[in-house]
Amino acid sequence: MAKIYDLMQERAALTAQIRELMNRVEGAELGAEDKAELTRMEADFDALNERIAREEKQLERERLAGEAQAAQARKKPEPADESGRLFARALSGSAAAVQQYRAAAPTLGDEDQAGALTAPMQFVEQLIKGLDDMLFMRQISHITPRLGAGQTLGFPYRATEAADAEWEGEVDAAAEETTLAYGRREFKPNRMAKLIKLSRTLVGHAPMAEGVVRDEMMYRIAITQEKAYMTGTGTGQPLGIFTANANGIPTTRDVSTGNTQTAVTFDGLLEAKYAIKQQYWRELNWVMHRDAAKMLAKIKDSDGQYIWQPSVQLGQPDLLLGVPVRMSEYAPNTFTAGKYVAVLGDFRYYWICDADPLTIQVLTELYATTNQIGYLYHYFGDGAPVVGEAFARVALAAAAG
């Protein structure tokens, strides 16, 4: 840039010299010396113009090259490891790319005549990271260290509280504790599986085939996980927060006082909040369906003011009684007598366990006749509330007996 600037300054100075000469001889015949000087300056001026034009063209070429490099840099980079790069190419369905990937990773084998590949660990880790960003339950809950596919994790919990200590006489025998009891919750690697088929043409022409596949898998896994974290039975799948269970949130944590058979009231919400010990308040979150959120957003306090506090900061959740509200499409939204409406709790006491490894097989040949590639994944994991008293489950009033 400095070079072209200097040339332009030189041209400007030469232009001023030409003007000075022309002004000096204005209306008169140019002498031989002046004519020769003017011819020289005009030639220099033309030469400078050519040099400036060449420099401008070069700057334009460099600008376009820079834009191309910047655009490339903005694209999602290929995986850093060699197996990841080969995997991304293999997703295009190219027979040569598939063979190259297999040759580089011979331990994968050729399973059941299907032309199966296995996604590298980096691909799996990126998928799990995407789930963490996508699912609010994974953001507010406790994620335990990964389990092996054949392992379980036991979490001890207090089943029955101890009696309070007593004041005793100086030489009296201390009262023996007989009520304290502990139980153990087991987290198991429950299996989730799904076969996804995508058009070979789509994958082959996508800017980043790996990203197309990962996003599709992330969406499907996220939906299934979120459903389980909301209403899972705990048998062969996670135990949901809206499922009454002695091993999760028991019915003793249900709060319906103050509510009607069809609606939650301001008093009912206060009953739920104050049903939780203050030690858990710092990390409280509401979880509910958006239909329930719409109902609660209309509630007013005794002064006629809405108790709902919409967020004014991008990325921050709305507040209800000073507590963030998280909405899930898979929370209950049937508002009849005795039904659950929302859960309030400290979700550090909802544990999510991911078993290791998550496996993804890429079936490059099995669906070739329909111009598709199959993606078969197996996820192993579990989840459950581990401290019932950290939660209050809002219910509508029961039907009259």
CA distances in angstroms from 212 to 123, 197, 215, 241, 373, listed in the order given: 12, 12, 5, 32, 12
Q: What is the pLDDT of residue 331?
A: 96
What are the tens digits of pLDDT across the range 224-281?
Answer: 999 999 999 999 999 999 999 988 999 999 999 999 999 999 999 999 999 999 999 9
Mean pLDDT (whole number) for 67-88: 55
In this structure, what token pair is assigned to residue 346? 């400290």
Pick the more confident residue, 211 or 384: 384
Q: What is the mean pLDDT of the chain?
A: 80
Distance separating alpha carbons of residues 140 and 350, to the nearest angstrom: 9
192 near 386, Cβ under 8 Å?
A: no
Residue that wins the pLDDT comparison between 361 and 99? 361
How far is Cα 201 from Cα 371, in angstroms, rounded to an integer?
7
User: Residues 99, 187: contact at Cβ < 8 Å?
Assistant: no
* Pairwise CA distance, residues 138 & 87, whole Å: 28
What's the pLDDT at 168?
84
CA distance linking residue 112 with residue 120, whole number of Å: 20
Residue percentage of the chain with pLDDT more than 90? 30
Eight-state DSSP code of residue 393: E
Lowest mean pLDDT among 83-87, 105-109, 166-170, 213-217: 105-109
Q: Is the pLDDT of residue 2 over 60?
A: no
